[in-house]
Structure formats: structure tokens, C-alpha cells
Amino acid sequence: MLTEARPVDEGAERPKVSYTPLIPASLKDVGLNRDMLIHLIVKVLYYAGEVTGAYLAGRLKLPYTIVDELIEFVKNERMCEVKGMAGIGKTAYKYAITSLGRDRAREFLEINQYTGPAPVPLVQYTEMIKNEAATRSYITQETIVKEFSHLVLTKHVMDMLGPAINSGKSMFIYGAPGNGKSVVSESIGRMLGGEVFIPHAIDVDGVIITVFDPINHRPVNGDKIPDSSGYRSPILSETEDFDQRWVRCKRPFVFTGGELTLEMLDLSFNEISKFYEAPFQVKANGGVFLIDDFGRQLVRPKDLLNRWIVPLEKRVDYLTLHTGKKFELPFDALIIFSTNLRPQELVDEAFFRRIRYKIHFDNPTLEQYKEICKNYCRSKNIVYNPIIVDYIQTEFYQKHNLDLRCCHPRDIIEQVIDIARYLNVPPALTKELVDSACNSYFVK
């Protein structure tokens, strides 16, 4: 029975996973058409040469008992043959493709060239996403304060971020560049904690869509990291306690910027391999999807926003195969729109109504600026000098009418370090080093 979602106690250990996919005990539990699995085995044999039954089980990420049943069918159809043994027991039988098997493999490869782990049926994927959403834990005010302790944020901003994160839906953060919007978004991704299960691939009516992405998905500590082909070890460990077609990962944090196009939010079909790759929002399910620099994409903001109306309101997304078939997928990512532009120039009232939380990141006050500077000096083992910081305010910000930004202390101190290394002197907040740093940093 699923446990009820509850607030996270700051002193308690976070729950690891809310729902675990059970190891299939039979072909029926796998949920796939048997022909798809037969095709997969024959294609693997075509490319791999002589392999053991254990290898095939590890490749498909299915229990050996199920794979053995499939191998027997392939053997009886004279598409493979036993070539010897690599050890003791039936799992060590070595199989090789026959000439008939090669002919059939070429036919199967015309359908698609996928040879990774067996996919998960769409219905099982949908059930997993819904169960994970139903059992997600909440964060409290104490958690927010602790997790953002490395940043200088006002209580007002933190008290808006907390409920927005708990909503698990959407937020729109805006303000001048360099005031921490991206850093806060990344911190939210880490703050959510916990783990989710990501399938290697899903099956939609015989069509394969890869989901696991080593760039955006991080397997948890202790799990073997899948290789570039999407599978880990040629032999399944008997100690695994969940369906190995899934990868246990940290909650995903998917980041896109000005390069985002509408096409990237749709399925990507490879004309050569003949299978699909899932779009960003599917890879972000169970985690955070950050659209940074919103409004600076090549596509018009209005067109991009229209793409999100249904997912934001209905919590489902509709994707289309190249055949024209549409299907529904759950949409369960905290989506963050981040922009440096004026919101009124980007979106209309109808879209703002669908974005639950709108949070403004203002320029820092002088006190906040000094606190950021002090913290960064401490992190770089540089003695903080308040007199020099006041000097920066007078000689650069006030004299040239510059706005304070949260990123400025970090950037100026890093340039002080660069200049000190060049001059072969210890880095310090001195007038000479600060003058050089600010003169090469600010555009006057």
C-alpha cells in the first residue's frame, strides 16, 4: 500500500523512493508483446555474436527465467543454436545466430535498430509517474532556510519559493540578470531530494521511445552507471530488488536555455535507427524542468507558451508519432520559467493565470551585497575589507550610476584573484587590485 505524502522533518532522513517497480515473474508481467522481445533477442544475437543466456538476460534487463523461455522459442524457430558452454548451468549456454536468424534479424532491423534493455509499456510508466507524484513529500520553512543557507535571500523570497516548490506545478521567476535566478533554480533541484525510477525506454503500441539519458539523469550511489548503450552489466545481479528495466536516479533537473525550440518539446525520431528519444519534459518527470533565459529563444514566446497551456492545466501532455498517432503521457515536473525580460512583454493574462507562482528577484540592498561579498571572501580565504567594499560603491556604482547585482561580488573577487596571480602577489581586497578588477569588469 502506498504511504501518504507528509511533510519532511528537517532532522529525519528523507525517503529514498516512494514506489518500486516489481521484478516481473512472468512474460505477462513484462507487459510487452512477445514478438517485440523475440525481435530484440535476434537483433542482439546479430550484433553480438556468440553470447550466453546470462548475457542476453542482462542485455534485456529481464530475469533469466523469462529470457530463457524466449531463447527456447528462437532456437526452436532455428534462428539461433547452442555453440557450447562458458561455465556451469544453463545460463552459461553459448548461443549464436544462424543464417536464417541473420535473414530475420535484417527484417527486424528494418522495423527499428533498437537493441537496448526491454522497454516498459506505457501503462506501467504512467502508473509509476502517478504513484511517485501521489507519495511525494513536502518541504517545510525550516528546510527552505537550511537548504538556501549558502545564498543571501530575503525571508520574503524564501516564503514564496517554499509553497511554489510544494505545489510541484509551475513558477515564473523574473528580474534583472545576475541576481541568482539560475542558482536558486538549481538549488531547488537539489533540495527536492529523494529518488525516482526512470525507464530505459517505453513502448507505445510497438514503437520504442528512449527515456533514460545519462546527461540529465543521475543514477543513485551504489547503482552501476549505465554505459553509453544504456545497459550496465552483461549479467543481472541476483541481489537486485526491482525491475531492472528501470534506473533508480536522483530526481532529475533538466535545464534548457536560449537554444530551446518547439521541436525539442516533441518526440525526436531517428530516421536511421527508427526509434524515438523522449523530449525534455518527459525526461524531467518527477523532478524540475528549468527554461532559462525565457523570451530569448528563436521561437516566439507566445508560441512556446501556447505549447505549455494543456500540460500546465491538465498535468498531461500529448505527443505525436511520425505516423500521426497521438498518445497521452503524465506531466509531473516542477516547471520553472526564468527570464531577465519584463513579464508583460512576454506573456498575456491568460498564461499568467496558469502559472501559479510569480516571484520577482530584485537587486540586492547594500547590506545584502556586503554579506555576499563577505561570504565569497571567506570561501576563497581572502580577508574581507569593508573599507574597500565601500570604496567600490563610491568609485564605481555611485559615480557611474550602476545597479547592484548579486553576482558582482563573486565576479569582482574572482577577477582580483586572476590579477593577483598575474602579478604574482597574494590575492587581497586592496585598492590597486580592486581598481584593476572593476575597470576590466564594468562597462561604463
Question: Percentage of the chain with pLDDT > 70?
Answer: 91
Residue 114 and residue 208 in contact, taking contact as beta carbons nearer than 8 Å: yes
Phi-psi domain of 82 (left: phi exceeds 0; alpha: psi -120 through 50; beta: other): beta
This prediction's pTM: 0.86
Q: Does the pLDDT of residue 229 top 80, yes or no?
A: no
- Compute φ and ψ for 128, nearest 5 degrees: -60, -50
Report pLDDT digits (tens) over 25-74.
Answer: 999 999 999 999 999 999 999 999 899 999 999 999 999 999 999 999 99
What are 114's three cell numbers? 533498437
Report pLDDT digits (tens) over 350-361.
Answer: 777 778 899 999
Classify burial at 227, counting beta carbons within 10 Å of its beta carbon; exposed 0-12, middle 13-18, buried 19 or more.
exposed
| Structural domain spans, the chain | 33-114, 122-360, 366-441
The pLDDT of residue 83? 87
Report pLDDT digits (tens) over 133-146.
Answer: 877 778 899 989 99
pLDDT band at 96 (very low <50, low <70, confident <90, very high): very high
List the end-to-end C-alpha distance of the chain, in Å, as a whole number: 64
Report pLDDT digits (tens) over 199-221.
Answer: 999 999 999 999 999 999 999 86
> C-alpha angle 397/403/408, rounded to 5°?
80
Q: Does the pLDDT of residue 333 top 50, yes or no?
A: yes
- More confidently predicted of 222 and 56: 56
- More confidently predicted of 239 and 118: 118
Which of 3-7, 44-48, 186-190, 203-207 bottoms out in mean pLDDT, i.e. has the lowest? 3-7
Residue 179 and residue 408 in contact, taking contact as beta carbons nearer than 8 Å: no
What are 157's three cell numbers? 523570497
What is the CATH class of 122-360? alpha beta
The pLDDT of residue 228? 37
- More confidently predicted of 193 and 431: 431
- Mean of the per-residue pLDDT values for the chain? 88
The fold of the 33-114 domain, in CATH, is: Arc Repressor Mutant, subunit A (1.10.10)
Q: Does the pLDDT of residue 131 top 80, yes or no?
A: yes
Give the amino acid at 330: P
Q: Calculate mean pLDDT across residues 244-257.
A: 93
Maximum mean pLDDT: which of 184-198, 210-224, 418-432:
418-432
> How many residues are recorded in the chain?
444
Q: Does the pLDDT of residue 88 top 60, yes or no?
A: yes
Q: What whole-number distance in Å separates Cα of residue 266 and Cα of residue 318?
A: 9
| Torsion of the alpha carbons at 305, 308, 247 and 161, rounded to the nearest 10 | 70
Q: Does the pLDDT of residue 76 top 60, yes or no?
A: yes
The pLDDT of residue 16? 54
Question: Percentage of the chain with pLDDT > 90?
Answer: 69
> What does the DSSP 8-state code read for residue 106?
H
Which of 105-119, 180-194, 235-249 bottoms out in mean pLDDT, i.e. has the lowest? 235-249
The pLDDT of residue 227? 46
